[in-house]
C-alpha cells in the first residue's frame, strides 16, 4: 500500500482509478504500474498522474507485424514486467493485428490489418519484429512480400517501433553471409519514423516504457545515433554491472565453474561483451527483475548492438577474429609471432652485417 501514499500517486484522479477498477484492474496494481513506468522512463515522480492519464485517454491502435523473426519478441511481450502489465497493455492498447495471438486467420486476419490502416491512418503505432529480406521470395504473408507489408504498415503509422535486433539492425538473418539480403526496418522504409529497441529479444520493460512515453508526450523518447532510446541504451552494461568491482580489482573468472566464477567474479576473460554493449540489462534485468546474463554466470554477447552476431563472436573470446586467420588464432598470438619474427629477422641481419666488410672501415684503413 506504500505506493498509494506517495503524493504523486495520490493525485491520480479518483475517476481514473474507478474506471480501471471497473475493468478489473486493482487500483493498487494500476498505481504501481504507472509509478514503475514513470521510473523506467527516468521521469520525475510528479509525472505519475500524467502517465496515468496518458494510459487512460488513448487506447492507441497497434499493428504488430512479424517478418523474418523467431517470435522471441512477441514472447518477451507476453512476459511483460509489472504484475499486471500484460493485462494493462491489452486494455491500454488496441492490438488490431498480431499474428501470434489474434483469433482471426487467413483473409479475415488480413482484413483486420487493412481496416486498421485505413481507419487509423497516421494514428496507430506499428511494431515490427524480424528483419525484411530485399527479395520478396524469402518472406511473404498472405501472398504479399515483407517489404510491401512494412512499406504499407510503417508508411501509414504515426510511429514505428522496431523490436528486437532483427528489426532494428537486421539481426540474425543479416549475419554473414546474409543469405537472404535481410535489412532492418530503417533500411527497408527509410522515410518512416522509427525507434529501435534492439536486444535479442527486446526487454519487455523497455517496450512498455517506450509505448507509455509515446502516449504521455505524444512523441518518441530521445535516442542515440543508432535510434535507440537513451533511457535503455544510454550507458554500457560494463558501467552498471554488479561485477564491476571485481573487474576493477582484477578478479576474473578463468574458467566456467572455477571458484572465482562461483563467487561472481568478472566474466571479462570468458568473453563478456559488457564493455562494448549499451543496454540497461544490469539495472532492468529480465522476467520481472529476476536475472540477466552476467548475473547467471554467462558473459554478455552484445545482443543490443548492430551486427553483434559477427562483431561480437566468437562469443567466448574478448576480441573478434583477426580477418584472414583461423578461429584458433588470437590477436595476441599473431602479435607475438610478428614481434618474434622481427626480432629473429633483425638478429640474423645483425649477424650478417657484423660479418660483412664495411666500406668505411676499409677506407679508414
Partner 1 sequence: MAKRIAVDPITRIEGHLRIEAQIDGGKIVDAWSSSTAFRGVETILKGRDPRDAHHFTQRFCGVCTTVHSMASIRAVEDALKIQVPDNARLIRNLIMGIQNVQDHVIHFYHLHALDWVDIVSALSADPVATSKLAQSISDWPKSSADYFKGIQERVKAFAGTGRLGPFQNAYWGHSAYKLPPEANLMAVAHYLEALEWQKDVIKIHAILGSKNPHPQTFLVGGMSIPVDPNSQNAINADKIAWMMKLFKKARSFVEQVYIPDLLAVAPFYLDWAAIGGGVGNYLSYGDFPDASGQNFFPRGVITDKDLANVYPMDEKKITESVTNSWYSYQGGDDKALHPYDGETNANYTGPKPPYTWLDTDQKYSWVKSPRYDGRPMEVGPLARVLVAYAHGVPEVQGAVNFVLKTLGAPASALFSTLGRTAARGVDALVLAQKNEEWLLQLADNMGRGILDMHNGEMWDPASWPKEAQGFGWHEAPRGALGHWIRIKNQKIENFQAVVPSTWNAGPRDEKGQRGPYEQALIGTPIADPENPLEILRTIHSFDPCLACAVH
Partner 2 sequence: MLELRYVWEWPVRITHWVNVVAIVVLSVTGLYIGNPFISVSSTTPYVMGWMRFIHYVFAYLFLMSFMARMVWMFCGNRYASWREYFPWVTAKGRERIVGTFAWYTFLRKTPPYEVGHNALAVMAYAGVFTLFLVQCITGFAIYGQFEPGSFWFNLTQPLLAVGNQQLRLTHHIIMWLLIGFGIHHVYSAALMDVKEKNGCLSSIFGGYKFVDPEEEVE
- Binding residues (CB under 8 A) for partner 2: these are 224-225, 230, 234-236, 238-239, 245-252, 254, 260, 268-269, 273, 276, 278, 305-307, 311-312, 318-320, 322, 331-332, 334-336, 338-339, 342-343, 346, 349-350, 352-353, 356-360
Residue 319 binding: pick among ligand SF4, ligand HEM, ligand F3S, none (C-beta 5-8 Å cut-off by kind): ligand HEM
Contact between 104 and partner 1 by CB under 8 A: the answer reads: yes
Least distance to partner 2, CB of residue 184, Å = 14
Task: Assign 124 to helix, strand or coil.
Answer: coil
Task: For 57-98, give the secondary structure using H, E and C.
Answer: HCCCEEEEEECECCCHHHHHHHCCCCCCHHHHHHHHCEEEEE
Position among 197, 293, 309, 313 found at the interface with ligand F3S (CB under 6 A): 293
Q: Which has the closest alpha carbon to 244: 263, 261, 274, 266?
A: 266
CB 7 within 8 A of CB 31: no
Question: How far, in Å, CA of 12 to CA of 86, rounded?
Answer: 21
Contact between 95 and partner 1 by CB under 8 A: the answer reads: yes
Contact between 189 and ligand F3S by CB under 6 A: the answer reads: no
Cell 475493468 locates to 23
Q: Which is nearer to ligand SF4, 221 or 274 (CB)?
A: 274
Contact between 277 and ligand F3S by CB under 6 A: the answer reads: yes
φ and ψ at residue 117, rounded to 5 degrees:
-60, -40
Contact between 106 and partner 1 by CB under 8 A: the answer reads: yes
- What's the maximum distance between 2 C-alpha atoms anywhere in the chain? 111
Q: Which is nearer to ligand HEM, 39 or 319 (CB)?
A: 319
Least distance to ligand F3S, CB of residue 187, Å = 22
Amino acid at each position: 500500500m506504500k505506493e498509494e501514499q506517495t503524493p504523486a500517486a495520490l493525485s491520480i484522479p479518483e475517476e481514473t482509478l474507478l474506471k480501471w477498477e471497473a475493468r478489473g484492474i486493482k487500483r493498487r496494481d494500476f498505481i504501481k504500474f504507472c509509478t514503475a513506468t514513470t521510473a523506467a522512463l527516468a521521469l520525475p515522480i510528479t509525472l505519475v498522474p500524467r502517465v496515468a492519464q496518458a494510459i487512460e485517454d488513448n487506447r492507441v491502435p497497434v499493428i504488430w507485424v512479424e517478418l523474418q523473426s523467431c517470435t522471441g519478441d512477441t514472447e518477451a511481450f507476453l512476459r511483460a514486467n509489472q504484475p499486471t502489465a500484460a493485462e494493462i497493455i491489452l486494455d491500454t492498447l488496441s492490438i488490431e493485428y498480431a499474428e501470434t495471438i489474434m483469433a482471426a486467420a487467413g483473409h479475415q486476419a488480413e482484413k483486420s490489418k487493412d481496416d486498421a490502416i485505413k481507419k487509423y491512418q497516421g494514428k496507430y503505432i506499428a511494431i515490427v519484429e524480424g528483419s525484411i529480406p530485399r527479395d520478396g521470395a524469402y518472406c511473404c504473408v498472405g501472398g504479399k512480400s515483407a517489404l510491401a507489408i512494412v512499406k504499407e504498415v510503417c508508411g501509414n503509422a504515426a510511429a514505428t517501433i522496431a523490436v528486437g535486433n532483427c528489426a532494428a539492425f537486421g539481426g540474425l538473418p543479416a549475419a554473414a553471409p546474409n543469405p537472404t539480403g535481410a535489412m532492418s526496418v530503417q533500411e527497408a522504409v527509410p522515410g518512416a519514423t522509427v525507434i529501435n529497441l534492439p536486444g535479442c529479444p527486446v526487454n519487455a520493460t523497455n517496450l512498455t516504457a517506450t509505448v507509455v512515453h509515446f502516449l504521455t508526450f505524444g512523441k518518441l523518447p530521445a535516442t542515440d545515433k543508432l535510434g535507440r532510446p537513451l533511457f535503455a541504451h544510454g550507458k554500457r552494461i560494463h558501467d552498471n554491472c554488479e561485477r564491476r568491482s571485481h573487474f576493477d580489482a582484477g578478479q576474473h573468472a578463468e574458467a566456467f565453474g572455477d571458484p572465482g566464477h562461483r563467487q561472481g567474479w568478472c566474466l571479462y576473460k570468458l568473453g563478456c561483451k559488457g564493455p562494448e554493449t549499451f543496454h540497461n540489462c544490469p539495472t532492468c534485468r529480465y522476467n520481472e527483475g529476476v536475472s540477466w546474463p552476467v548475473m547467471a554466470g554467462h558473459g554478455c554477447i552484445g545482443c543490443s548492438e548492430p551486427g553483434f552476431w559477427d562483431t561480437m563472436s566468437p562469443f567466448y573470446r574478448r576480441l573478434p577474429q583477426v580477418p584472414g586467420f583461423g578461429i584458433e588464432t588470437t590477436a595476441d598470438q599473431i602479435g607475438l609471432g610478428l614481434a618474434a619474427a622481427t626480432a629473429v629477422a633483425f638478429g640474423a641481419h645483425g649477424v650478417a652485417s657484423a660479418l660483412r666488410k664495411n666500406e668505411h672501415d676499409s677506407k679508414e684503413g
